[in-house]
C-alpha cells in the first residue's frame, strides 16, 4: 500500500503508518471478542478500543491537534489503513456516521454547536447518529430525501419535532443526534442531546452487517422540543447542508472498505499459497490464481478512483457527481473482490474462522447504504441526458 510522496505529506504518511500498526497489532485480536454481537460491539468494548487508540496517539487521526483536517487525498490513505479491520474505524474514530457528522458540524456549526456537540465526538467520548432515513411503510425519505415526512414546527424559542426514522446507525448508545425534519421553510437539521425521552427506539433491526455499535434502529420521535439555538445553520437549508456532508461521506465509506478488502486479499492469498490440492498449490491453479490477479487489478482501480474523487474535493468542488460515480463503482467492484476471496478460500471462506466472511457481509450492505448503486446510476443517466439535450438545443 504505497502512495506517491509528491501528493502525501510526510506527516500524513506517518499518521497512516501509525494507524496501520495500531490496527494490525491491537485491534485485529478484538475481531474474535465475544462482546461483538449481532448489533455490533457493546459499549465496554468500544470504550476499551478507543482507550487503546488514545494511548497509541491515533484517535481521530485525520483531524489534527489544531482542528485542521488532512486533505481528502491524505484522509484516503489514513482511513484505508484504519479499515484493515472492520473494527479499526470504530477504534480510531474514523467510522460512519461519526466521521461524516464531524465533517458536517465542522463546516456548518457555529461556535456553540462545535463546543457542545462536535468536540465530544472528535475526542471519541461520544458517538453520534444521523436521523434522516424514514420507514418505507410511512412513505418516508430513503434514497429520495425530498420525501421527508418528519415535521418541525416553530413554537416560540423552540421547535417541536414529530416523525419516525429507520436504519438509524448507532442510535442506541449515541450521545449526539442530528435530526432532519421539514418545516414551512424547508428541510432543517437539529442537534439534540441523547438519550431523550421524546426519542424512542422501537427496535434494533437484524441486518446483514454487525460492525456498528448499536446496530440500525427504527426510531419514533414524539413532540421532541429543541431550542432554536440547536438548529444547524439557517431554517430551510437542510438539503444544502446535506450536500456538504454527502460527497465526503460517500467517499470515506469507499476508503474504509477498500482497506478491509486489502486485508481480505492478504488472507485469501496466504490461503491459496499454503493450501495444496490436486498435486500443487491452489494459487498455481489458473482458476484460483486469476481470481487473485483480478482482485489486485480491481483494488488498484478502486484506489485510483478514490484518489481522483479526493482530488476533486480538495480542489474545492462539492464533488456530488464524482462521489456518486465513485461510490457506485467502488461498491460494486469491492463486492466482486470480496466474493472472489470467499471463492478462493472455499469452505473456509464462508466460516467465521477468518475476517473474510464478515467483510463479505459488510461490503454487501455497502452497496445499499449512502444510496444503492442503481440510484447513483439513475442520477448519472439523468445528467448525461440533460447535458446531451442542452448540446442539441432540445428539451425533453
Distance CA 289, CA 203 (A): 45
pTM of whole model > 0.85? Answer: yes
Distance CA 390, CA 378 (A): 18
For the chain, domain boundaries: 10-95, 128-233, 239-392
pLDDT digits 0-9 by tens, 346-383: 999 999 999 999 999 999 999 999 999 999 999 999 99
pLDDT digits 0-9 by tens, 337-352: 999 999 999 999 999 9
**Nearest by Cα to 211 from 341, 355, 53:** 355
Q: For residue 387, with 0-12 CB atoms within 10 Å meaning exposed, 13-18 middle and 19 or more buried, which class applies?
A: exposed
CATH of domain 128-233: 2.40.110.10
Distance CA 264, CA 361 (A): 12
**Nearest by Cα to 323 from 339, 306, 337, 348:** 306
Distance CA 92, CA 48 (A): 11
Q: What is the DSSP string of 292-339?
A: HHHHHHHHHHHHHHHHHHHHHHHTT---HHHHHHHHHHHHHHHHHHHH
**Nearest by Cα to 220 from 183, 171, 272:** 171
Residue 158 C-alpha from the chain's centroid = 32
Architecture of domain 239-392: Up-down Bundle (1.20)
**Mean pLDDT score of the chain:** 95
pLDDT digits 0-9 by tens, 243-280: 899 889 999 999 999 999 999 999 999 999 999 999 99
Per the rule left: phi > 0, alpha: psi between -120 and 50, beta: everything else, 278 is left
**pLDDT-derived band of residue 4, with 50, 70 and 90 as boundaries?**
very low
Q: List Cβ neighbours of 180 (8 Å cut-off, separation of 6 or more).
A: 130, 131, 132, 141, 145, 148, 150, 187, 188, 189, 190, 238, 242
pLDDT at 396 over 90: no
Q: How many CA atoms lie within 13 A of 249 on its CB side?
A: 21
Distance CA 95, CA 11 (A): 21
pLDDT digits 0-9 by tens, 137-167: 999 998 888 899 999 999 999 999 999 999 9
**pLDDT-derived band of residue 3, with 50, 70 and 90 as boundaries?**
very low
Residue 285 C-alpha from the chain's centroid = 36
State the residue for C-alpha cell 462482546.
35
DSSP for residue 74: H
pLDDT digits 0-9 by tens, 105-121: 999 999 999 999 999 99
pLDDT of the residue at 280: 97
Q: What is the mean pLDDT of residues 42-63?
A: 97
250 near 243, Cβ under 8 Å? no
Q: What is the mean pLDDT of residues 71-84?
A: 98
Measured in residues, the chain has a length of: 396
Q: List Cβ neighbours of 333 (8 Å cut-off, separation of 6 or more).
A: 298, 301, 302
Amino acid at each position: 500500500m504505497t502512495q506517491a510522496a509528491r501528493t502525501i505529506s510526510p506527516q500524513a504518511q506517518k499518521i497512516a503508518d501509525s494507524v496501520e500498526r495500531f490496527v494490525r497489532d491491537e485491534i485485529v485480536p478484538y475481531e474474535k471478542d465475544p462482546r461483538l454481537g449481532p448489533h455490533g460491539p457493546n459499549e465496554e468494548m468500544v470504550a476499551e478500543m478507543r482507550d487503546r487508540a488514545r494511548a497509541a496517539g491515533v484517535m481521530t487521526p485525520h483531524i489534527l491537534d489544531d482542528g485542521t483536517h488532512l486533505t481528502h487525498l491524505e484522509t484516503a490513505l489514513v482511513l484505508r489503513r484504519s479499515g484493515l479491520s472492520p473494527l479499526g474505524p470504530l477504534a480510531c474514530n474514523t467510522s460512519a456516521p461519526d466521521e461524516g457528522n464531524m465533517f458536517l458540524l465542522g463546516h456548518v456549526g457555529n461556535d456553540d454547536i462545535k463546543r457542545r456537540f462536535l468536540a465530544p465526538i472528535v475526542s471519541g467520548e461520544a458517538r453520534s447518529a444521523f436521523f434522516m432515513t424514514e420507514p418505507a411503510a410511512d412513505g418516508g425519505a430513503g434514497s429520495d430525501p425530498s420525501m421527508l415526512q418528519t415535521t418541525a414546527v416553530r413554537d416560540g424559542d423552540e421547535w417541536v419535532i414529530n416523525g419516525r426514522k429507520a436504519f438509524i446507525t448507532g442510535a442506541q448508545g449515541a450521545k449526539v443526534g442530528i435530526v432532519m425534519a421539514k418545516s414551512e421553510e424547508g428541510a432543517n437539521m437539529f442537534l439534540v442531546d441523547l438519550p431523550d425521552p421524546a426519542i424512542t427506539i422501537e427496535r434494533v433491526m437484524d441486518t446483514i452487517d454487525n460492525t456498528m455499535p448499536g446496530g440500525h434502529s427504527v426510531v419514533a420521535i414524539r413532540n421532541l422540543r429543541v431550542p432554536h439555538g440547536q438548529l444547524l445553520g439557517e431554517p430551510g437549508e437542510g438539503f444544502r447542508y446535506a450536500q456538504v456532508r454527502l460527497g465526503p461521506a460517500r467517499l470515506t465509506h469507499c476508503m474504509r472498505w477498500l482497506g478491509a478488502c486489502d486485508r481480505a486479499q492478504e488472507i485469501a492469498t496466504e490461503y491459496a499459497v499454503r493450501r495444496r490440492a490436486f498435486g500443487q498449490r491452489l494459487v498455481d491453479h489458473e482458476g484460483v490464481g486469476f481470481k487473485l490477479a483480478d482482485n489486485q487489478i480491481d483494488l488498484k482501480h478502486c484506489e485510483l478512483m478514490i484518489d481522483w474523487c479526493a482530488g476533486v474535493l480538495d480542489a474545492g468542488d462539492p464533488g456530488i457527481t464524482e462521489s456518486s460515480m465513485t461510490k457506485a463503482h467502488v461498491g460494486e467492484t469491492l463486492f466482486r473482490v470480496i466474493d472472489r476471496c470467499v471463492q478462493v478460500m472455499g469452505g473456509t471462506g464462508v466460516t467465521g474462522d477468518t475476517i473474510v466472511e464478515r467483510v463479505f457481509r459488510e461490503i454487501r450492505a455497502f452497496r445499499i447504504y449512502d444510496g444503492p448503486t442503481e440510484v447513483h446510476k439513475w442520477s448519472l443517466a439523468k445528467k448525461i441526458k440533460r447535458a446531451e439535450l442542452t448540446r442539441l438545443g432540445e428539451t425533453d
